[in-house]
Structures are given as C-alpha cells and as structure tokens.
Amino acid sequence: MAKRWCLLPLAAVLLLLSFVPTVTEVVDSMSDCAEFLLEKTPPQVPGILEGGNILNQNRYKPICQTFKNKKRFVTLYDTKNKIPVFSAYKYRGEQQTGRPQTPWKIEPQLEEKNTSNMRDDGLSHQASDSDYKGCITKGFNRGHLFPNSHAFDKNEQLSTFTLTNIVPQAISFNSGSWSSMEQCIKCIMDEYCKDNNAVTKAYVVTGAIPNPSTDPNTKLNKRVNIPDKLWSAFCCYDSKKKKWIASAHWGDNVPDKPERKYLPTITLQKLQEELKIVAFPETQCPLQTTVSEFYKTQAKHCQCQKT
C-alpha cells in the first residue's frame, strides 16, 4: 500500500470525494446483495451472522458496494470496530492491470447523525481517512479484503478503494505472505474456475477477526480495531474436471517472519474448526480437499506453496 494514502490530508480527501461517482447502498439484509454469494448464501460467522440472519442489526451493516450505478461486491461492516467483518465478491478474471491512483471513499449512509457522539469530521460509524493518519509509522497499512488485483475491470478496481473494505494490516504481512496467497489463488482461479461456457467464475469471501482486547494499543488511533487474524476462502466449479474445488487460508495479523513466505492452504472444514467460519454453507463446495494438489503439477506457474 502506498504511503501517501496514510499521509493525505483529510480535507484533500473529502474534496476529491465530491467528484467520485459512487452511491453505496446500506441495505437491510445480506439477501439484498446476494448475487455476490455462492448460491446466494452468506457465510456463517458465529455471534454475528448465523443462518443468513444478522444478529445485531444496529451494529453490523450489510453494504452493497456500488460504483457508477453498478453493484460491485458486498460487505458486512462492523460499525463498532470500524472494520469489515468480510467482503464477498465474484471473481471473473482480469481485464485491467496495475494499481489505480484514486482517493479512498467513505460510505455516507453510515455517518452518525447524533451530534452528541459526532467526531470533528462528522463520522463515527465508520473509519475515516484521519483514522489511518500515520499508520505506516505504526507498522500498518490499508489492507484490502476485496483486493484490487482481483477486480475484473478499472471500475471494479476503483470500487475496492473504500474505507469499508479495508483493515489495518501489518505491512510485511500485507505485502508478503498475504499478497503471495492472493496471487496464487488468482492464478488458480484463472486456470481452473471455468464454467460450461469457458467463462471464468469463482466466489471469494475474505474477512477479519477483530482483536477482542480492550487495550488501546489494539486500535489504530484509538478508533479502528487492528484485526487479530485475516482469512479468505474461494470456491468454484471446474467444468473440465467436472467437480467443485475450494480452499481457504488464514494468518495472524503480525509482521511476517522470514520463514512465512506462504500461508498454509487449508480445507473449508479446517477453517471452520480453527476460526469457526463456515465460508460457503449448504453448497457443493468440498470440505475435505484443497487445490494444493495442483501446485506441483498443472499449476506450477502459479508460484504457490510447494508442500
């Protein structure tokens, strides 16, 4: 993540925001933006989202992330911790390369209307640009849950640059093992996630486990929770092999050690056992197998973990 995003003055960002054509929609239910969920079924996150129902609707807000009047992906946002619970999207390949230069966007519908609880910038239900001020010096940068590198085209890339799609992520973790995982899975999806019409299609959900501590050091600028862990899972139908394939990954949100070049590729069942996350409930996604079987054979060029 570029340093200048952490250092850009809030006033400059808000000025630029006025020219950004985005109308994000905070909706009532995950079903209102279900096209980004496999079989229109949201993940199960214990205590937050169970059986498709948001347990605390005052705190957790589903957002249809919309850019230029088109829905791009869906986020479940935690207004207390000021980070997303997860973002889910449909991977369709990539027509656009390179990282765009764009301001970070806010979601106006999450603004606090109670003036007694309002910050100077008028925001209290979401992270603001000022919350990330100086984040680089504190060892963190802005980690996408829906990475711009997985976006289909330029507009979809631009839509990922919203403060409701990012978390404070340890810098070397973000650019190291997590980035390697994103590149590996992108390559795997490009290779194997083809429907019967040879069109690339996969479903991805990526989330954050907040730090439960009340220690002020677990919050960026005393406002934004610094997640304890990040996780990601994908699932798709491989029409050539005529079967569903899936894998998951997770890692502690701490600086990478030299030996942590790759995150272990785990099964959806293992993700559920370790983090209690059911990424694709009641679908045909395999629970006991991963795509690591391809790493040494057909997908050598994907530069994934070789074990």
- HSE, side-chain direction, 13 A CA sphere, residue 236: 29
Mean pLDDT of 212-222: 91
Mean pLDDT of the chain: 87
Nearest to 274, CA basis, from 241, 238, 250, 295: 250
Q: Would you call 168 helix, strand, or coil by DSSP? A: strand
Q: How far apart are CA 109 and CA 91, in angstroms?
A: 27
- Estimate to the nearest angstrom the gap between the alpha carbon of 160 and the chain centroid: 9
Q: Is residue 307 part of a domain?
A: no
Is the pLDDT higher at 137 or at 264? 264
- Identity of the amino acid at 158: L
pLDDT in tens, 185-203: 999 999 999 999 999 999 9
pLDDT of 109 reads 81
pLDDT in tens, 15-59: 334 334 445 678 888 988 999 999 999 999 999 999 999 999 999
Q: Is residue 286 part of a domain?
A: yes
Q: How far apart are CA 298 and CA 107, in angstroms?
A: 42
Q: Does 1 have pLDDT greater than 70?
A: no
Q: Would you call 120 helix, strand, or coil by DSSP? A: coil
Q: Using 50, 70 and 90 to split pLDDT, how confident is the model at 115?
A: very low
Residue 265: CATH number of its domain: 3.40.570.10
Mean pLDDT of 222-241: 96
Q: Is residue 18 part of a domain?
A: yes
Q: Is residue 126 part of a domain?
A: yes
Which long-range contacts does 94-100 make (Cβ < 8 Å, 24+ apart)?
94/149, 94/150, 94/151, 94/152, 94/186, 94/190, 95/152, 95/153, 96/151, 96/152, 96/153, 96/154, 96/156, 96/157, 99/2, 99/148, 99/149, 99/157, 100/148, 100/154, 100/157, 100/158, 100/161
Q: How far apart are CA 252 and CA 263, in angstroms?
A: 10
Q: Are 155 and 100 in contact (CB under 8 A)?
A: no
Q: Is residue 143 part of a domain?
A: yes
Q: Is residue 110 part of a domain?
A: yes
pTM of the model: 0.88
Q: Is residue 9 part of a domain?
A: yes
What is the number of domains present in the chain?
Answer: 1
Is the pLDDT higher at 18 or at 253? 253
pLDDT of 306 reads 59
pLDDT of 6 reads 44
Is the pLDDT higher at 137 or at 84? 84
For residue 116, count CB atoms less than 10 angstroms from its CB and return exposed for 0-12, middle for 13-18, buried for 19 or more: exposed
Range of the structural domain that residue 22 is part of: 4-302
pLDDT in tens, 148-192: 999 999 999 999 999 999 999 999 999 999 999 999 999 999 999
